[in-house]
Amino acid sequence: MHIYVPSVGAHHSLGIQPICAAQHSIAGEVMQDSAAIISVRQLTKVFRVGSEKVVALNDVSFDVPKGQILCIVGTSGSGKSTLLNQLAGLEKPTKGQVLIGGKNISAFSETRLAGFRQKHIGFIFQSYNLMAAMTALENVSMPLIFRGMPRKKREIAAKRILGEVGLSERAGHKPSQMSGGQQQRVGIARAFVATPKIIFADEPTGNLDTRTTVEVMQMMIRLCKQYNQTLVLVTHDTEIAEYADRIVTMRDGVIVEDRVNVKRAEETKEETNPGAGEKGAKDET
Partner 1 sequence: MRISDLLSICARNLTRRKFRTFLTVMGVVIGTSFIVMMISLGIGIERSNMRMLETWGDLTMVTIHNQGNTETPLNDTAIEAIRAMPQVQAVTPVAELRLDNVNVVLTAGRGGRYEWWGGWGIVGLDPAALPYLGYDMREGDILPVNEDGTRVVRMMFGERAAYNFQDTRRRWPNNMIEVWNVMPGDPLPDPFFNPMEEQTIRITLSSWEQDSRDVEFEVEVVGVMVGSWDFNRPELMDGAVMDVADLQRMIAEFNRANSIRPDRNAVEGFDMARVKAHSIDDVADVEAAIHAMGFPNTQSMEEIRQSMQEAAQQIQMILGFIGGVALFISSLSIMNTMIMSVYERTREIGVMKVLGCHLGNIRSIFLIEAALIGFIGGVVGNALSALASFALNAYVMGNAGGGMMGMGMEPMPVSVIPLWLMSLGLVFATIIGLVSGIIPALRAVKISALEAIRTE
Ligand X SMILES: Nc1ncnc2c1ncn2[C@@H]1O[C@H](COP(=O)(O)OP(=O)(O)OP(=O)(O)O)[C@@H](O)[C@H]1O
Please give the residue ranges that form the binding site for Mg ion (CB under 5 A): 81
Q: Which residues contact 218 (CB under 8 A, 6 or more apart)?
A: 243
Residues 42-81, one symbol each (x = binds ligand X by CB under 6 A, - = not), give -----x-x----x-x-----------------x-xxxxxx
Q: Which residues lie near partner 1 (CB under 8 A)?
A: 81, 85, 88, 90-91, 110-111, 114-119, 121, 123, 125-127, 129, 131, 133-134, 142-143, 145-146, 148, 150-151, 190, 202
CB of 162 to Mg ion, least distance (A): 28
Under DSSP, the state recorded for 35 is: S
Answer with the entry of partner 1, Mg ion, ligand X, none that 78 interacts with (C-beta below 5 to 8 A by kind): ligand X
Residue pair 11/225 in contact by the 8 Å Cβ criterion: yes
CB of 71 to Mg ion, least distance (A): 13
- Amino acid making up residue 258: D
Give the CA radius of gyration of the chain: 18
CB of 89 to ligand X, least distance (A): 16
Tell me whether residue 197 or residue 246 sits nearer to partner 1 (CB atom).
197
Answer with the entry of partner 1, ligand X, Mg ion, none that 190 interacts with (C-beta below 5 to 8 A by kind): partner 1
Residues 205-244, one symbol each (x = binds ligand X by CB under 6 A, - = not), give -------------------------------x--------
Q: Which residues contact 184 (CB under 8 A, 6 or more apart)?
A: 124, 128, 204, 205, 207, 208, 212, 216
Secondary structure string (H, E, C) spanning 43-112:
EEEEEEECCEEEEEEEEEEEEEECCCEEEEEECCCCCHHHHHHHHCCCCCCCEEEEEECCEEHHHCCHHH
